[in-house]
Copies of this chain bind each other. A is one copy, B any other.
Amino acid sequence: MRSPHAFRNGESPTLRDHTHFHSTVTAQKLRRFNSLILLLRLASFSFSLASAVFMLTNSRGSASPHWYDFDAFRFVFVANAIVALYSVFEMGTCVWEFSRETTLWPEAFQVWFDFGHDQVFSYLLLSAGSAAAALARTMRGGDTCTANKAFCLQSDVAIGLGFAAFLFLAFSSCFSGFRVACFLITGSRFHLYS
Q: Which residues of chain A have a CB within 8 Å of any CB of chain B? A: 1, 3-5, 71-72, 119, 123, 126-135, 137-138, 170, 174, 177-178, 180-182, 184-186, 191, 193-194
Instruction: Closest B residue to A194 by CB, please name it.
Output: B1
By a CB distance below 8 angstroms, the chain B residues around A130 are 126-128, 130-131, 134
What are 30 sample pairs from A and B whose C-beta atoms fall under 8 A apart? A1-B3, A1-B4, A1-B5, A1-B193, A1-B194, A3-B3, A71-B134, A72-B134, A119-B174, A123-B126, A126-B126, A126-B130, A127-B127, A127-B129, A127-B130, A128-B130, A130-B130, A130-B131, A131-B133, A131-B134, A132-B134, A134-B135, A135-B138, A174-B177, A177-B177, A177-B178, A181-B182, A182-B185, A184-B191, A185-B191
User: When chains A and B are docked, how far (Å) is the Cα of A28 from the Cα of B43?
Assistant: 43
By a CB distance below 8 angstroms, the chain B residues around A128 are 130
- CB within 8 A of A71: which of B3, B123, B137, B181? B137
In the assembled complex, the CB of A65 is this many whole angstroms from the nearest CB of chain B, namely 14
Extra A-B contacts (4), CB below 8 Å, given A3-B185, A182-B185: A126-B130, A131-B133, A180-B181, A181-B181
In the assembled complex, the CB of A78 is this many whole angstroms from the nearest CB of chain B, namely 14
By a CB distance below 8 angstroms, the chain B residues around A135 are 134-135, 138
By a CB distance below 8 angstroms, the chain B residues around A191 are 184-185
By a CB distance below 8 angstroms, the chain B residues around A138 are 135, 138
By a CB distance below 8 angstroms, the chain B residues around A4 are 1
In the assembled complex, the CB of A133 is this many whole angstroms from the nearest CB of chain B, namely 7
